[in-house]
């Protein structure tokens, strides 16, 4: 594993500590890496009105996009799951909005087990702006 990739995994793991998960007690952390190498951390942020909860992936993406970022190189997602964590459908759709189909997404589970996927593998035949 490259030094940079190890750092991104650590950033995603560190984010877990800030997860706001009083209801599920299921923390998730994310590290979104821009083409320029800048990183944005994301956590899941829950709400007493459960449906308003936001996933770690979308937090990271919205933070970066709201700072003007548009070009992304990689997303790392970390969770305390036995298998590498699987992002939810809503997050996959948001990934398809902002990421290239071949962009790598690194999924990390407990014990550091990782799985490398692309945006297109996570959401094949996705609905995008080109369909409008
Ligand atoms: N969650 C994420 O933040 N990312 C995922 O990839 C899966 C699920 C959150 C949503 C909720 O706060 C908690 O995990 C349990 O569903």
pTM of the model: 0.97
Count Cβ atoms within 10 A of the Cβ of residue 117 and give its class: 0-12 exposed, 13-18 middle, 19 or more buried. Answer: middle
In the annotation, is 97 catalytic? no
Chain segment 70-107, per-residue pLDDT in tens: 999 999 999 999 999 999 999 999 999 999 999 999 99
Give the C-alpha separation, 90 to 51, whole Å.
Answer: 12
Give the C-alpha separation, 87 to 65, whole Å.
Answer: 19
Residues lining ligand 1, judged by CB closer than 6 Å?
A: 21, 24, 26, 28, 44, 46, 53, 55-57, 77, 85, 87-88, 91
Residues near 122 by beta carbon (within 8 Å), at least 6 away in sequence: 87, 92, 95, 105
Per-residue pLDDT of the chain (132 residues; tens, 9 = 90+): 898 889 999 999 999 999 999 999 999 999 999 999 999 999 999 999 999 999 999 999 999 999 999 999 999 999 999 999 999 999 999 999 999 999 999 999 998 899 999 999 999 999 999 999
């Amino acid at each position: 594993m490259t030094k940079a990739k190890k750092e991104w995994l650590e950033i995603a793991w560190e984010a877990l500590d800030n997860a706001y998960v009083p209801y599920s007690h299921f923390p998730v952390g994310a590290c979104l890496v821009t083409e320029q190498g800048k990183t944005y951390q994301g956590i899941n942020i829950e709400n007493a009105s459960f449906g308003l909860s936001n996933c770690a992936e979308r937090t990271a993406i919205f933070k970066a996009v709201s700072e003007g970022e548009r070009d992304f190189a990689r997303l790392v997602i970390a969770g305390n799951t036995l298998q590498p964590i699987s992002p939810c459908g809503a997050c996959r759709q948001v990934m398809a909005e902002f990421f290239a189909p071949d962009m790598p997404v690194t999924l990390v589970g407990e014990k550091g087990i990782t799985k490398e996927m692309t945006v297109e593998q996570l959401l094949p035949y996705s609905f995008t702006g080109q369909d409008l």
